[in-house]
């Protein structure tokens, strides 16, 4: 049974090359730069973010992702620079992404408009020597399965726009604008990177000095794939504790959605934030998985002179 599941995972990973290739993170509100390059340099201090995602926990060969994001302090009050390093695995496939972001800021009254671009490189690796692979008549007897490790490296570019005030933000991005060939057979153009459109927005409503509510939305669309949305509502107490719930659309025909996601965050200090998310699967895959887990750790290198005046560095 496990071997059959692994084959299913492998096939799913191969088919996904046509559709949703952009990694989805439940805690997108804490990790905007991986979605939109225009967010680079959005603060006056250096921010380091570490993120780990274990999707469909308990499902052998299920997707996993690790991310390191470095958002440098704004330069000359208008220039933003950032870097992302991401590793994703599913079945026998590994994808490593490294990208740099550049953004330029325009001040508009109480808000800031940012326009940014990113240049990314990606390494795709498929390990057909993985012992989990199974063929009915044996791997060695199937000429369509190479008994080797294959790899391919390519580059791409993206563009984004982001506008924010102290209580509102909206942004849109195309992280990959080039339909790069990712087929391991150089004689065929069968699999390509597809273009994704990502739109996010949110706003904070101050209830009193200790409580505020923040509704947020992330819209995803990709070529040859259905669109999807994350609809989130979070509450923040005393500028230190936050909790929220997200409804993620998707799943197969007959499903009521992809997942319901629970998010908890804590500002451990002026500089350090820790966040957790647990996705409760709504689609049919819930019969064999234990949900998805995501952990994020964000550290802001705040100069001492501004520590006491930084308000809510996590959202805007």
Give the domain ranges of the chain. 2-309
| pLDDT greater than 70 at residue 72 | yes
| Contact criterion met (CB below 8 Å) for 284 and 250 | no
Q: How far apart are CA 310 and CA 312, in angstroms?
A: 7
**Token output for 19:** 């559709």
| pLDDT greater than 70 at residue 281 | yes
Of 9, 15, 295, 25, the closest CA to residue 175 belongs to 25
- Strands 292-301 and 149-164 come out as unpaired
pLDDT at 15: 36
Q: Band the pLDDT of 186: cuts 50, 70, 90.
A: low
| pLDDT greater than 80 at residue 308 | no
Kindly state the average pLDDT of the residues 207-222: 94
Q: What is the mean pLDDT of the chain?
A: 86
The structure's pTM equals 0.86
Kindly state the average pLDDT of the residues 249-274: 92
Q: Could you tell me which CATH class the domain 2-309 is placed in?
A: mainly beta
Q: Band the pLDDT of 199: cuts 50, 70, 90.
A: very high
pLDDT at 11: 37
| pLDDT greater than 50 at residue 1 | no
């Amino acid at each position: 049974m496990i071997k059959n599941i692994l084959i299913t995972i492998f096939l799913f990973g191969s088919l996904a090359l046509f559709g949703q290739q952009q990694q989805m993170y439940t805690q997108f509100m804490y990790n905007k730069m991986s979605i939109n390059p225009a967010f680079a340099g959005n603060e006056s201090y250096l921010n380091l973010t570490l993120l780990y995602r274990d999707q469909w926990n308990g499902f052998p060969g299920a997707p996993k992702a690790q991310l390191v994001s470095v958002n440098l302090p704004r330069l000359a009050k208008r220039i933003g620079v950032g870097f992302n390093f991401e590793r994703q695995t599913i079945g026998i496939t590994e994808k490593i992404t490294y990208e740099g972001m550049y953004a330029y800021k325009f001040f508009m009254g109480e808000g800031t408009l940012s326009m940014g671009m990113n240049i990314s490189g990606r390494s795709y690796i498929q390990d057909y020597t993985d012992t989990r692979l199974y063929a009915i008549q044996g791997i060695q007897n199937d000429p369509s399965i190479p008994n080797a490790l294959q790899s391919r490296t390519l580059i791409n570019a993206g563009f984004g726009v982001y506008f924010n005030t102290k209580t509102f933000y909206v942004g849109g991005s195309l992280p990959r604008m080039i339909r790069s060939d990712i087929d391991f057979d150089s004689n065929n153009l069968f699999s390509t990177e597809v273009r994704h459109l990502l739109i996010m927005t949110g706003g904070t409503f101050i209830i009193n000095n200790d409580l505020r509510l923040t509704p947020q939305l992330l819209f995803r669309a990709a070529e040859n794939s259905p669109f999807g949305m994350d609809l989130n509502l979070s509450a923040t107490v005393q500028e230190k504790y936050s909790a929220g719930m997200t409804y993620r659309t998707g799943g197969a025909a007959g499903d009521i959605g992809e997942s319901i996601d629970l998010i908890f965050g804590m500002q451990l200090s002026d500089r350090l934030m820790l966040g957790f998310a647990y996705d409760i699967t709504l689609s049919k895959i819930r019969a064999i998985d234990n949900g998805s887990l995501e952990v994020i750790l964000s550290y802001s290198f705040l100069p001492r002179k501004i520590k006491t005046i930084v308000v809510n560095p996590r959202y805007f």
